[in-house]
């Protein structure tokens, strides 16, 4: 009945002449979790990730590497002595981690895990840094998303630092441990800091890439584009539509950071047809007119700013 007042103000022809009524009001976004599609086993917790339903382990259980959800026990979430933050050996007992606040803790005893939770905001980039203190600890940092899926890790020598981009406004989890790269059974103190870098400038996947139109080669006023690797493992994807028989060139400003490049076609975004790291890279279509994706990244996994120009000849 809430549309009745709207009908009273429509011309009669709009109601009767066309035989249909068009609602010009704003679309109501459908909640993919209503009704809850998560009915399989213990993965009954539904979350909305960018309009898609994702099924997570129900509260009181923990995701195991096998993919199964297990009830919390001393096996998968042990309790033991150590620093004042124990017990914190699993996601469900993660301690809140504020940005730009240093936290002092320790890996104790041997085999200890320390979990922390960051309340992420979609498209924000975060870095986590662990500096070892007194003791023999070689720190390792692992990052997990809200469902317990592993994202990435970094082993310190001696400092460990890892960055990640939040794919949803949701909790993300950080695990600190002794690195398996060191065979010794080490323990020790560490300082942990989380920083908010800001929004990511370019997407990290072909589907999120930024489409550019190249300038004509030889122009006196070419466009300069800028980018930044907000963290060492960041990837920036850009795209251009290419015509068979035409050569395209990407030129980098060598006074800035020089990225590595991998080129893919729309038909195959898994296997690059061109890889390079140079002041300029020429690209031609490997077959037919298509869209080419350029994955720019830091080969040494270091953050840095870069600039480039795109031409067609």
CA distance 20 to 73: 59
pLDDT of residue 28: 62
pLDDT of residue 266: 96
What is residue 27's predicted lDDT score, i.e. its pLDDT?
60
CB atoms within 10 A of CB 70: 15
Residue at token pair 């609602």 = 23
- Quick one: tokens of 183? 């065979």
Distance CA 238, CA 247 (A): 17
Structure tokens at 14: 């709009």
What CATH code would you report for 206-312? Answer: 2.60.120.380
Rounded distance between C-alpha atoms, residue 34 and residue 42, angstroms: 18
- Fold of the 83-199 domain: Jelly Rolls (2.60.120)
pLDDT given at position 24: 52
Tell me the β-bridge partners of 248. 283, 312
How far, in Å, CA of 159 to CA of 134, rounded?
A: 13
- Retrieve residue 59's tokens: 């509260």
Check if the beta carbon of residue 107 is closer than 8 Å to that of residue 136.
no
pTM, whole model, 2 decimals?
0.76
- Per-residue pLDDT of 89-125, as tens digits, reads 998 899 999 999 999 999 999 999 999 999 999 989 9
Domains 83-199 and 206-312 share a fold: yes
Which residues are paired to 308 by β-bridges?
225, 252
| The two structure tokens encoding residue 243 | 């015509």
* pLDDT tens by residue, 146-195: 999 999 999 998 999 999 999 899 999 999 999 999 988 899 999 999 99
**Per-residue model confidence (pLDDT) at position 174:** 97
Quickly list DSSP for the chain: -TTHHHHHTS-HIIIIISS-----SPPPPP-TTSS----BTTB-EEEEETTEEEEEPPTTEEE-TTS-EEE--TTTS-----STT-S--SGGGPEE--BT--EEEEE-STT--EEEEEE--TTEEEEEEEEEEEES--EEEEEE-TTS-EEEEEE-SS-EEEEEE-SSSSEEEEEEEE-TTS-S---EEEEEEEEEEEE-SS-SSGGGPEE-PPEETT-SSPPPEEEEESSTT-EEEEEEEE-TT-EEEEEE-TTS---EEEEEETTBSSS-SEEE-SSEEEEE-SSSSEEEEEEEE-TT---EEEEEEEEE-
**Where exactly are the structural domains of the chain?**
83-199, 206-312
Confidence (pLDDT) at 15: 37
% of the chain surpassing 70 pLDDT: 91
Distance from C-alpha of 179 to C-alpha of 185, rounded to nearest angstrom: 10
Q: Which residues of the chain have pLDDT under 50?
A: 1-22
**Contact present, 106 and 130 (Cβ < 8 Å):** no
């Amino acid at each position: 009945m809430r549309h009745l007042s709207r009908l009273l103000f429509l011309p009669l022809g709009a109601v009767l002449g066309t035989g249909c009524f068009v609602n010009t009001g704003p679309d109501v976004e459908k909640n993919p979790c209503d009704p809850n599609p998560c009915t399989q086993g213990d993965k009954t917790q539904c979350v909305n990730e960018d309009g898609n339903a994702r099924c997570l382990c129900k509260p009181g259980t923990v995701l195991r590497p096998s993919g199964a959800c297990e009830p919390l026990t001393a096996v998968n979430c042990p309790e033991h002595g150590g620093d004042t933050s124990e017990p914190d050996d699993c996601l469900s007992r993660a301690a809140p981690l504020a940005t730009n606040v240093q936290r002092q803790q320790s890996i104790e005893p041997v085999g200890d895990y320390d979990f922390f939770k960051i309340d992420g905001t979609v498209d924000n980039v975060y870095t986590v840094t662990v500096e070892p203190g007194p003791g023999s600890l070689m720190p390792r940092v692992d990052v997990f998303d809200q469902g317990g899926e592993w994202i990435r890790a970094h082993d310190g020598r001696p400092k460990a630092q890892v960055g990640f981009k939040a794919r949803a406004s949701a909790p993300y989890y950080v695990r600190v441990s002794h690195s398996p790269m060191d065979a010794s059974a080490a323990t020790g103190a560490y300082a942990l800091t989380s920083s908010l870098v800001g929004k990511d400038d370019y997407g990290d996947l072909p589907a999120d890439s930024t489409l550019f139109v190249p300038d004509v080669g030889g122009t006196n006023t070419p466009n300069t584009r800028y980018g930044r690797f907000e963290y060492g493992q960041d990837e920036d994807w850009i795209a251009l539509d290419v015509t068979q028989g035409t050569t395209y060139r990407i030129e980098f400003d060598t006074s800035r950071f020089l990225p590595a490049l991998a080129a893919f076609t729309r038909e195959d975004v898994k296997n690059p047809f061109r890889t390079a790291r140079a002041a300029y890279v020429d690209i031609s279509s490997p077959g037919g007119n298509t869209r080419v994706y350029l994955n720019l990244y830091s080969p040494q996994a270091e953050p840095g700013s870069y600039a480039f120009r795109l031409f067609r000849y």
